[in-house]
């Protein structure tokens, strides 16, 4: 599949009417929702729930920066696949490279930097060690 690395997490998405504009094309901001959900599902698949990370480790993850390329439109009722792959893990941030495909067609690609913050102070905080180990970055 286009843009897919061996270790990328894949999440299937059905495009609903509510995701589209009047022309039946996915509204550009909704691609960000698809990317967000794939990252969340990747963590869940690894055994990490974000609400538990808040309670146990007092950490939250926030988007620091986004670069998105829109290459082809996704449309109402399409079955698309959203990937989430890590390109860099630092002490308090994660860099993701993500794609959205429909079959072999690359629809969108994104580079998204996520910051790890202390849930109380909203200041940068080290990624919990158990998560770094699960990500194979120590």
Q: Which residues are catalytic?
A: 21
How far is it, in rounded angstroms, from Cα 56 to Cα 32?
27
**CB within 8 Å of 134: residues ≥ 6 apart:** 46, 47, 48
Evaluate whether 14 touches 77 at the Cβ level (below 8 Å): yes
The DSSP output letter for 56 is H
Q: What are phi and psi of 94, to 5 degrees?
A: -130, 135
Token code pair at residue 22: 């009047």
Residue for token pair 């007092």: 58
């Amino acid at each position: 599949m286009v843009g897919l690395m061996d270790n990328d997490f894949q999440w299937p998405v059905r495009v609903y009417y509510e995701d589209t504009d009047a022309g039946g094309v996915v509204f550009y901001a909704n691609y960000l929702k698809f990317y967000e959900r794939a990252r969340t599902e990747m963590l869940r698949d690894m055994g990490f729930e974000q609400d538990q990370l808040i309670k146990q480790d007092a950490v939250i993850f926030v988007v620091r920066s986004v670069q998105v390329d829109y290459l082809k439109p996704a449309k109402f009722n399409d079955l698309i696949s959203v990937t989430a792959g890590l390109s860099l893990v630092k002490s308090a941030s994660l860099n993701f490279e993500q794609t959205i495909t429909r079959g072999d067609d690359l629809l969108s690609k994104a580079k998204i930097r996520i910051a790890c913050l202390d849930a109380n102070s909203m200041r940068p905080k080290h990624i919990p060690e158990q998560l770094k180990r699960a990500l194979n970055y120590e």
